[in-house]
Each structure stands twice: as structure tokens, then as C-alpha cells.
Amino acid sequence: MTRRTLVFHTHLVQDVTTLRPLIRLAQRLVEHDVVVLCAAEFAKHDSTGLWREELAALCAETSATLHTYETPYDAVRLLAGRHGMIVAGSESHLPNHAVTHALFRVMPPGFLRVTLQHGFECMGLLHNAAHDETAGGAVRFAADIVVTWFHESRLTTTSGAERPKLYLAGPPTLLEPPPANAADAHDPYRGMVCENLHSVRFVKGGAARQSFIAYFNAFADRFRHVGSPIHLRPHPAGAFTQRQGLPVPEGVVLDTGPFYRIALGEFGFCISAPSTVLFDFVLAGVPVAVWGDADGRIDTSNFSGLAEVVTVEDWWRFVARAAADPQPLLDRQAAFLAGLGMPPDIEDRYARLLSLAAVVTDETGT
């Protein structure tokens, strides 16, 4: 008899954030072995070593065993004598997910393969125009189960062939209470601007990248006189600001730590091009604005219903509204959330998902 095991797989550094609440949930609910399997390629994406440390700390905290593997065959050997479930932070047949896809294709038959929706817009589930242009509309998964955040009617890109694999469980970030605000820390003028300038949205976005940088610099310059800090948060994997050596304007705080350590409630507003961070701030009850370029090359349609800004004047007016009377903005955001079809019983659904590891057998069927 082989050992029942729950395996969590990380390849991209973002996978740590996606999987973290589930690994902690597994520690509370699951009695069998928990293994975190880390692809050797993870280190290539983690130039500072920050995410490796986060992963190690998470494993130490949850008593999960951390293994790194080089090739699919190494992973198969590591998991020899085990069966159960493997959960990946991201997986699809697309090149960015090739490492996890290869592993899922070769996982021993005694493992149920699960991948998670890993962002608000997510390859294979909900694309923007640039995603469609890059990947087309027929993204495939090697996973047996694809866990989604939203009702399938909102996941407009899922191919018909993959639709039967969908399992609605909701965003895993809601499995955990957010970090507490420091006393009196809420400041309506404390803002976060997020950049994902590495993203395919900007690669396909013509002059949008330069435009965003120019507007941000102008905004930061004007905002200096307000006296509250502006945080600039580069996407943790893209890290465009750091990699391109973009100058950080005076008075701007560069924010590069794990998102799950930030008390979002301390902020008064968030501005970003289409990105999952907008959704996270919406969940945290903070007014958000979606940035789109003047040429309309950046597709913001998946975020329709939220405030939209283009020019630095728009940014300025949005901040004024958010600070003076945030409620109308928050009402719109609540309506936006209500339309996503998120389930109310998220923890139960993830618990049921993880419990499947206990019913998988190690037999190979014919």
C-alpha cells in the first residue's frame, strides 16, 4: 500500500501566494503527508531568494516537507510509493506553464491532479484581448480538476473540452483573515499604484507602457505635496521597475514584499492597469481605479463596473473622490463582486476538494 499524500507544486514565484492559504488549510484539515514540490526552475524566477525563504518558512510552519526536483522523472521517483492529490498554483499547456504541465502529464495514476485559478484574469479561464491574441481561445489543462474563483458563466474563455473539469471554490485568499490594520493606520490619501508593465497586456499595448510610466511620474510629482505616501508595487514575478532600473520618484515607497503580509485596509485607494491586485483591494473594501491607455489598446472590459482612469487628471480626481466620499465607489465595487458568482462557502468547498485526496486509491484502473 502506498502512502496517501497531498502534494503542492510550485514553479512560478506567484504560486507561493496562490497556494499559501491552501497549504495552511491542509495543515488544519488533512492528516496525511503534505509535500511541497518545487521545480528547479523556481530559482530562476526568484532572483532575490525572497520566495524560496517564504516557501521554506511556510513549510516549517505547516510541517510540510519541501522537495526540489530537476526533471519530471526526478519528481516521479520522489513520489514513488505515494498516491493522493497534487495541487498546482498554475498549469496549462501554454509555454509559461510548461514545467507544471509536463509534470502533470506524467504524474503517477494514483494522483488526482488539481490546478487553481491563479488570478482574476487567468489563462484558460478568463482572458483579456492580449491573452487571446497570445494564447488563442483553446487553452488546455493536464489537470483533472480546475478550481475556479467565479461561476463558470463569468469564465468566458474556458474551452468546451475543459469545462467539465471546473470546480467552483472561490478565491483562496478569502480562506484567511487579512493582516490587521495598525491602529489609526487608515489614511484616505495613502495610495498604492501597481505596475505590471512586463505583462502581455503592455507587450501588445503599443505606447501604453511609456504612457503609464509618464502618468505615474506626473502623479507622484503632484502627490508629493499631499504628504501621504504613494506605494509603487511592481508585479512580484515581472518586477519591471527593478529589472529595467526605472527611477522611483521622490516620496514613493517601493513595495516588493509578499502581498499577503500587507494590510490593504490601511490604504485609501489603489490604481492599477488590469490586474488581480484590483480584485484584492476590492475584496478589502478599498476604492480602486482601473487604468487604461488613451488609445484603448489595454483591454479593461473584464473589470467593467469599476472606476476607470486614463490621464493624470483622472487619477487626481479619482483620489479626491475616494478620499472625500468613498461610499459610492464602494457600492459599485460591491455590485461588481456580486456579479462574479463567488460562492459563500469557500472554506467548505476547499475542504471538500482536499478531502478527495483521501478517496483516491493507488490502483491503476483499466
Residues binding another protein (CB under 8 A):
71-73, 76, 102-103, 105-109, 363-366
Cβ distance to another protein smaller for residue 19 or 79: 79
Q: How far is the CB of 86 from another protein (least distance, A)?
A: 13
**Residue 38 φ/ψ, nearest 5 degrees:** -115, 125
Residue 68, beta-bridge partner list: 38
Q: How far is the CB of 34 from another protein (least distance, A)?
A: 23
Closer residue to another protein, CB minimum distance, 132 or 363:
363
Q: CB nearer to another protein: give 107 or 284.
A: 107
CB of 64 to another protein, least distance (A): 25
Residue 155 grid coordinates:
469564465
Residue among 49 and 73 whose Cβ is closer to another protein: 73
Yes or no: say if 8 and 87 are a contact pair by the CB < 8 Å rule: yes
Residues 20 and 37: their CA atoms lie apart, in Å, by: 13
Shortest Cβ 101–another protein spacing (Å):
8
C-beta of 98 vs 213, nearer to another protein: 98
User: Could you tell me the smallest distance in angstroms from the CB atom of residue 72 to another protein?
Assistant: 5
How far from 27 is each of 5, 22, 31, 204, 213, CA to CA, in Å?
12, 9, 8, 42, 42
Q: Are the CB atoms for 268 and 188 separated by under 8 Å?
A: yes
Kindly state the smallest distance separating residue 144's Cβ from another protein, in Å: 12
Residue 120 burial (10 A CB sphere; 0-12, 13-18, 19+): buried
Q: Kindly give, in sequence order, each residue whose CB lies less than 8 Å from that of residue 92, ignoring residues fewer than 6 positions away.
A: 101, 115, 123, 124, 139, 140, 141
Choice between 50 and 76, CB closer to another protein: 76
Please, are residues 268 and 191 in contact by the beta-carbon 8 Å criterion?
yes
CA distance 84 to 87: 10
The kind and range of the H/E element at 4 are: strand 3-10
What is the closest distance, in whole angstroms, from the C-beta atom of residue 106 to another protein in the complex?
3
Between residues 77 and 163, which has the closer beta carbon with respect to another protein?
77
